[in-house]
Amino acid sequence: MSSEGPDLVCEVDNVQGIVDALTAVRWKRQQDAVVELSEHGVVLIVEESSCLQAKVYLQRELFIKYEYGGAQGRPRFGVSLGLLVNCLNTFSVPGSGRSSSTIEIRYPGPDMQLLLKSVDSLDACIYAEIRTRIPETISWDYNFEPAGTTPISFTVKSAALKEAIDDLEWPGSSVQIILQPDPPSVTFKGEGHGDLQIDFMYYVNTDLLIAFSCDHQVSYRYKYKFLQATTSNIPSSVIRDNRGSKLTIGRGGMLKVQHLVSVARPSIPHPHVDSAGYQQPSRIAYIEFFVKPEEDESTIND
Protein backbone atom coordinates (compact mmCIF):
# COMPACT_ATOMS: atom_id res chain seq x y z
CA MET A 1 0.00 0.00 0.00
CA SER A 2 1.39 3.43 -0.80
CA SER A 3 1.83 5.53 2.29
CA GLU A 4 -0.25 8.63 2.75
CA GLY A 5 2.58 10.35 4.52
CA PRO A 6 4.38 13.42 3.32
CA ASP A 7 7.04 13.26 0.61
CA LEU A 8 9.57 14.89 2.87
CA VAL A 9 9.97 15.72 6.54
CA CYS A 10 13.33 17.24 7.36
CA GLU A 11 14.95 19.35 10.04
CA VAL A 12 17.50 22.10 9.63
CA ASP A 13 19.56 23.41 12.52
CA ASN A 14 21.17 26.39 10.84
CA VAL A 15 18.56 28.42 9.05
CA GLN A 16 21.03 31.21 8.32
CA GLY A 17 23.22 28.83 6.32
CA ILE A 18 20.27 27.77 4.17
CA VAL A 19 19.28 31.40 3.70
CA ASP A 20 22.86 32.20 2.60
CA ALA A 21 22.84 29.39 0.07
CA LEU A 22 19.47 30.42 -1.38
CA THR A 23 20.37 34.11 -1.41
CA ALA A 24 23.35 33.30 -3.63
CA VAL A 25 20.92 32.70 -6.51
CA ARG A 26 18.70 35.70 -5.91
CA TRP A 27 19.66 38.10 -8.65
CA LYS A 28 16.19 39.57 -8.96
CA ARG A 29 13.53 40.50 -6.42
CA GLN A 30 10.90 38.26 -7.93
CA GLN A 31 11.99 34.81 -9.04
CA ASP A 32 10.03 31.61 -9.40
CA ALA A 33 12.00 28.59 -8.34
CA VAL A 34 11.46 24.91 -8.97
CA VAL A 35 12.23 22.62 -6.05
CA GLU A 36 12.99 18.96 -6.58
CA LEU A 37 13.02 16.46 -3.72
CA SER A 38 14.77 13.12 -3.71
CA GLU A 39 16.35 10.70 -1.28
CA HIS A 40 19.66 12.51 -1.91
CA GLY A 41 18.50 15.93 -0.87
CA VAL A 42 16.78 19.05 -2.10
CA VAL A 43 17.62 20.91 -5.30
CA LEU A 44 16.32 24.40 -6.03
CA ILE A 45 16.48 25.70 -9.61
CA VAL A 46 15.96 29.21 -10.93
CA GLU A 47 16.44 30.48 -14.43
CA GLU A 48 16.10 33.54 -16.60
CA SER A 49 15.32 33.97 -20.26
CA SER A 50 16.90 30.64 -21.24
CA CYS A 51 20.34 32.17 -20.81
CA LEU A 52 21.04 31.77 -17.13
CA GLN A 53 20.24 28.97 -14.77
CA ALA A 54 21.23 28.41 -11.17
CA LYS A 55 20.94 25.37 -8.95
CA VAL A 56 21.34 25.06 -5.21
CA TYR A 57 22.12 21.56 -3.99
CA LEU A 58 21.20 20.89 -0.38
CA GLN A 59 22.21 17.30 0.14
CA ARG A 60 20.60 15.32 2.87
CA GLU A 61 23.71 15.41 5.08
CA LEU A 62 23.06 19.11 5.67
CA PHE A 63 19.88 18.27 7.52
CA ILE A 64 19.88 16.92 11.05
CA LYS A 65 16.89 14.83 10.04
CA TYR A 66 15.81 13.83 6.54
CA GLU A 67 12.88 11.47 6.03
CA TYR A 68 12.09 11.03 2.39
CA GLY A 69 8.84 9.25 1.65
CA GLY A 70 8.31 10.14 -2.01
CA ALA A 71 7.30 6.96 -3.70
CA GLN A 72 7.38 7.41 -7.46
CA GLY A 73 9.78 9.79 -9.04
CA ARG A 74 11.00 13.02 -7.62
CA PRO A 75 8.32 15.38 -6.37
CA ARG A 76 8.69 18.83 -7.89
CA PHE A 77 6.92 22.04 -7.04
CA GLY A 78 7.19 25.71 -7.86
CA VAL A 79 7.63 28.34 -5.17
CA SER A 80 8.57 32.02 -5.05
CA LEU A 81 12.23 32.20 -4.08
CA GLY A 82 11.93 35.65 -2.49
CA LEU A 83 8.99 34.52 -0.39
CA LEU A 84 10.84 31.41 0.75
CA VAL A 85 13.95 33.35 1.75
CA ASN A 86 11.99 36.09 3.56
CA CYS A 87 10.00 33.42 5.33
CA LEU A 88 13.10 31.54 6.47
CA ASN A 89 14.45 34.84 7.77
CA THR A 90 11.54 35.17 10.17
CA PHE A 91 12.72 31.99 11.85
CA SER A 92 16.16 33.22 12.77
CA VAL A 93 14.99 35.82 15.22
CA PRO A 94 17.78 37.63 17.05
CA GLY A 95 17.33 38.47 20.69
CA SER A 96 15.69 35.17 21.35
CA GLY A 97 18.72 34.00 23.25
CA ARG A 98 19.93 31.60 20.62
CA SER A 99 22.03 32.13 17.54
CA SER A 100 20.00 29.87 15.31
CA SER A 101 16.87 27.84 15.50
CA THR A 102 15.90 24.37 14.43
CA ILE A 103 13.08 24.22 11.95
CA GLU A 104 11.11 21.35 10.52
CA ILE A 105 10.20 21.51 6.84
CA ARG A 106 7.47 19.32 5.52
CA TYR A 107 6.00 18.79 2.06
CA PRO A 108 3.29 18.59 1.04
CA GLY A 109 0.70 20.05 3.39
CA PRO A 110 -3.01 19.28 2.96
CA ASP A 111 -3.20 21.86 0.17
CA MET A 112 0.20 21.09 -1.40
CA GLN A 113 1.80 23.85 0.67
CA LEU A 114 5.33 23.87 1.99
CA LEU A 115 5.08 23.75 5.80
CA LEU A 116 7.69 25.15 8.14
CA LYS A 117 7.73 25.10 11.92
CA SER A 118 10.31 25.90 14.56
CA VAL A 119 10.88 22.98 16.89
CA ASP A 120 13.21 24.44 19.47
CA SER A 121 10.92 25.19 22.31
CA LEU A 122 7.88 23.41 23.64
CA ASP A 123 5.92 26.49 24.54
CA ALA A 124 6.66 28.84 21.68
CA CYS A 125 6.86 28.22 17.99
CA ILE A 126 7.00 30.06 14.70
CA TYR A 127 5.19 28.45 11.81
CA ALA A 128 4.64 29.19 8.15
CA GLU A 129 2.82 27.81 5.13
CA ILE A 130 3.90 28.74 1.65
CA ARG A 131 1.73 28.14 -1.36
CA THR A 132 3.32 26.15 -4.12
CA ARG A 133 2.34 25.65 -7.73
CA ILE A 134 2.80 23.06 -10.40
CA PRO A 135 6.11 23.95 -12.00
CA GLU A 136 6.51 24.52 -15.70
CA THR A 137 8.95 22.19 -17.36
CA ILE A 138 12.31 23.82 -17.59
CA SER A 139 12.44 25.27 -21.08
CA TRP A 140 16.09 24.90 -21.76
CA ASP A 141 17.98 21.72 -21.29
CA TYR A 142 21.22 22.84 -19.74
CA ASN A 143 23.09 19.81 -20.89
CA PHE A 144 26.57 20.71 -19.89
CA GLU A 145 29.18 18.79 -21.84
CA PRO A 146 32.90 19.07 -21.55
CA ALA A 147 34.64 21.02 -24.29
CA GLY A 148 36.97 18.19 -25.20
CA THR A 149 38.99 15.41 -23.61
CA THR A 150 40.75 17.91 -21.34
CA PRO A 151 38.42 20.04 -19.29
CA ILE A 152 38.75 23.78 -19.70
CA SER A 153 38.46 25.13 -16.18
CA PHE A 154 40.02 27.24 -13.51
CA THR A 155 39.48 27.80 -9.82
CA VAL A 156 39.84 31.31 -8.51
CA LYS A 157 39.36 32.74 -5.02
CA SER A 158 35.70 33.75 -4.73
CA ALA A 159 36.51 37.21 -3.42
CA ALA A 160 38.83 37.87 -6.36
CA LEU A 161 36.25 36.66 -8.85
CA LYS A 162 33.55 38.87 -7.40
CA GLU A 163 35.84 41.86 -7.38
CA ALA A 164 36.85 41.30 -11.00
CA ILE A 165 33.28 41.01 -12.14
CA ASP A 166 32.24 44.04 -10.11
CA ASP A 167 35.01 46.05 -11.75
CA LEU A 168 33.86 44.98 -15.20
CA GLU A 169 30.54 46.72 -14.69
CA TRP A 170 32.07 49.92 -15.85
CA PRO A 171 33.03 49.13 -19.45
CA GLY A 172 29.87 47.70 -20.80
CA SER A 173 27.39 45.07 -21.54
CA SER A 174 29.42 42.01 -22.37
CA VAL A 175 32.51 40.34 -20.97
CA GLN A 176 34.95 38.20 -22.88
CA ILE A 177 36.60 35.35 -21.00
CA ILE A 178 39.80 34.02 -22.56
CA LEU A 179 41.71 30.99 -21.33
CA GLN A 180 45.06 30.13 -22.82
CA PRO A 181 47.51 27.38 -21.99
CA ASP A 182 50.74 29.23 -22.67
CA PRO A 183 51.35 31.13 -20.51
CA PRO A 184 48.56 29.60 -18.44
CA SER A 185 46.22 32.45 -17.71
CA VAL A 186 42.66 33.65 -17.57
CA THR A 187 41.66 37.02 -18.93
CA PHE A 188 38.45 38.91 -18.36
CA LYS A 189 37.88 41.67 -20.89
CA GLY A 190 35.19 44.27 -21.03
CA GLU A 191 34.73 46.76 -23.84
CA GLY A 192 32.31 49.57 -24.12
CA HIS A 193 32.69 52.79 -22.22
CA GLY A 194 36.44 52.31 -22.29
CA ASP A 195 38.27 49.01 -21.98
CA LEU A 196 39.19 46.97 -18.97
CA GLN A 197 41.25 43.82 -18.93
CA ILE A 198 41.86 41.71 -15.85
CA ASP A 199 44.46 38.94 -16.05
CA PHE A 200 45.00 36.06 -13.69
CA MET A 201 48.32 34.35 -14.40
CA TYR A 202 48.48 30.83 -13.08
CA TYR A 203 52.07 30.67 -11.92
CA VAL A 204 52.20 34.28 -10.85
CA ASN A 205 48.98 34.88 -8.92
CA THR A 206 49.05 31.56 -7.09
CA ASP A 207 47.16 32.99 -4.16
CA LEU A 208 44.27 33.96 -6.45
CA LEU A 209 44.24 31.34 -9.21
CA ILE A 210 44.21 28.05 -7.35
CA ALA A 211 43.78 25.57 -10.19
CA PHE A 212 43.92 25.72 -13.95
CA SER A 213 43.32 23.29 -16.79
CA CYS A 214 43.39 24.24 -20.45
CA ASP A 215 44.97 22.63 -23.48
CA HIS A 216 43.93 25.05 -26.19
CA GLN A 217 42.90 28.69 -26.24
CA VAL A 218 39.22 29.41 -25.84
CA SER A 219 37.40 32.69 -25.83
CA TYR A 220 33.72 33.41 -25.38
CA ARG A 221 31.56 36.42 -24.64
CA TYR A 222 28.89 36.53 -21.97
CA LYS A 223 26.30 39.14 -21.27
CA TYR A 224 27.46 41.17 -18.30
CA LYS A 225 24.23 41.02 -16.34
CA PHE A 226 24.18 37.23 -16.45
CA LEU A 227 27.81 36.94 -15.44
CA GLN A 228 27.24 39.41 -12.64
CA ALA A 229 24.32 37.35 -11.35
CA THR A 230 26.77 34.53 -10.63
CA THR A 231 28.65 36.55 -8.01
CA SER A 232 26.47 39.50 -7.03
CA ASN A 233 24.81 37.72 -4.14
CA ILE A 234 27.59 35.48 -2.91
CA PRO A 235 27.03 35.37 0.83
CA SER A 236 29.57 37.27 2.90
CA SER A 237 30.54 34.00 4.60
CA VAL A 238 31.91 32.72 1.30
CA ILE A 239 33.94 35.89 0.81
CA ARG A 240 35.22 35.65 4.36
CA ASP A 241 36.14 31.98 4.07
CA ASN A 242 37.65 32.89 0.70
CA ARG A 243 37.11 29.53 -0.80
CA GLY A 244 37.64 28.89 -4.46
CA SER A 245 34.96 29.21 -7.06
CA LYS A 246 35.37 26.94 -10.05
CA LEU A 247 34.62 28.09 -13.57
CA THR A 248 34.38 25.59 -16.41
CA ILE A 249 33.81 26.26 -20.09
CA GLY A 250 31.93 23.47 -21.79
CA ARG A 251 31.09 22.63 -25.34
CA GLY A 252 29.75 25.57 -27.29
CA GLY A 253 31.05 27.99 -24.69
CA MET A 254 28.55 27.22 -21.95
CA LEU A 255 29.98 28.59 -18.71
CA LYS A 256 29.54 26.77 -15.42
CA VAL A 257 30.30 28.66 -12.21
CA GLN A 258 30.43 26.68 -8.97
CA HIS A 259 30.49 28.06 -5.43
CA LEU A 260 30.59 26.36 -2.05
CA VAL A 261 28.52 27.83 0.78
CA SER A 262 29.10 26.72 4.34
CA VAL A 263 25.91 25.71 6.11
CA ALA A 264 27.51 24.82 9.42
CA ARG A 265 26.90 26.86 12.54
CA PRO A 266 29.93 29.09 13.05
CA SER A 267 29.66 29.24 16.83
CA ILE A 268 29.94 25.52 17.39
CA PRO A 269 33.18 23.94 16.22
CA HIS A 270 32.39 21.12 13.86
CA PRO A 271 34.26 17.89 14.56
CA HIS A 272 35.41 17.74 10.97
CA VAL A 273 36.90 21.21 10.69
CA ASP A 274 40.65 21.08 10.45
CA SER A 275 43.09 23.87 11.09
CA ALA A 276 42.78 25.32 7.60
CA GLY A 277 39.06 25.72 8.08
CA TYR A 278 38.25 23.04 5.56
CA GLN A 279 34.97 21.36 6.33
CA GLN A 280 33.69 18.00 5.34
CA PRO A 281 31.52 18.24 2.23
CA SER A 282 28.47 17.31 4.23
CA ARG A 283 28.23 20.77 5.75
CA ILE A 284 28.50 22.55 2.43
CA ALA A 285 25.83 23.54 -0.04
CA TYR A 286 26.79 23.55 -3.71
CA ILE A 287 25.73 26.38 -5.98
CA GLU A 288 25.97 26.04 -9.75
CA PHE A 289 25.35 28.67 -12.37
CA PHE A 290 25.10 28.00 -16.11
CA VAL A 291 25.55 30.94 -18.45
CA LYS A 292 25.00 30.70 -22.20
CA PRO A 293 27.56 32.53 -24.31
CA GLU A 294 26.58 35.32 -26.65
CA GLU A 295 26.28 34.34 -30.30
CA ASP A 296 29.32 35.99 -31.79
CA GLU A 297 31.19 35.17 -34.99
CA SER A 298 34.32 36.80 -33.75
CA THR A 299 35.02 34.30 -30.96
CA ILE A 300 38.52 32.97 -31.39
CA ASN A 301 38.59 29.23 -31.11
CA ASP A 302 40.70 26.50 -32.60
Partner 1 sequence: MKFKAFLTENGVNLLEKRFLPALDKMGKICHLYLTRDHTMFLHNLLNGDGIQSVAQFRKEALFDDYRISSQNEDRIAFAIDISLLQRAVRSSVSICTEFGSGPTQNRLQIKLVKKLPPNCTQPMPFLTFETKGYKSAVIQDVPISKPFSRAQVIELQTALDMAQDLPQTLVQVPDLNQLQNFVDRLKHVGDLLNVSISKYGDLLVQISTTLITVGAEFQKLLVIGEQADAPAEDRNLSAQTRSARAISRGDAQSVQVSVKHFAKSLQCHLAKPDCAFYGIAPQGACLTVIFQFFIPGSRQTDKSISLHCRLPVLDPGSS
Number of amino acids touching partner 1 (CB under 8 A):
20
Of 5, 28, 74, 86, the residue at the interface with partner 1 (CB under 8 A) is 86
Between the alpha carbon of residue 271 and those of residues 16, 184, 274, 282, the distances in Å are: 20, 38, 8, 12
Residue 209's identity, in one-letter code, is L
Question: Is residue 22 close enough to count as binding partner 1 by CB under 8 A?
Answer: no
DSSP one-letter code for 22: H
Of 38, 96, 180, 187, the residue at the interface with partner 1 (CB under 8 A) is 96
Considering the complex, what minimum distance in angstroms separates the CB of residue 41 from partner 1?
24
CA distance 102 to 276: 28
Considering the complex, what minimum distance in angstroms separates the CB of residue 35 from partner 1?
15
Considering the complex, what minimum distance in angstroms separates the CB of residue 212 from partner 1?
44
Q: Pick the closer one to partner 1 by CB: 93 or 300.
A: 93
Q: Pick the closer one to partner 1 by CB: 106 or 157.
A: 106
**191 has which bridge partners?**
195
Confirm if 154 and 239 have CB atoms less than 8 A apart: no
Cβ count near 183 (within 10 Å): 10
| Chain Cα centroid distance, residue 15 | 16
Residues 205-264 that bind partner 1 (CB under 8 A): none
CA distance 244 to 266: 19
Q: Pick the closer one to partner 1 by CB: 90 or 197.
A: 90
Between the alpha carbon of residue 212 and those of residues 209, 216, 288, 302, the distances in Å are: 7, 12, 18, 19
| Chain Cα centroid distance, residue 255 | 14
Considering the complex, what minimum distance in angstroms separates the CB of residue 24 from partner 1?
20
Considering the complex, what minimum distance in angstroms separates the CB of residue 240 from partner 1?
25
Of 49, 64, 74, 90, the residue at the interface with partner 1 (CB under 8 A) is 90
Residues 101-160 that bind partner 1 (CB under 8 A): 122-131
Q: Pick the closer one to partner 1 by CB: 124 or 134.
A: 124
Contact set with partner 1 (CB under 8 A) = 80, 83, 86-87, 89-90, 93-96, 122-131
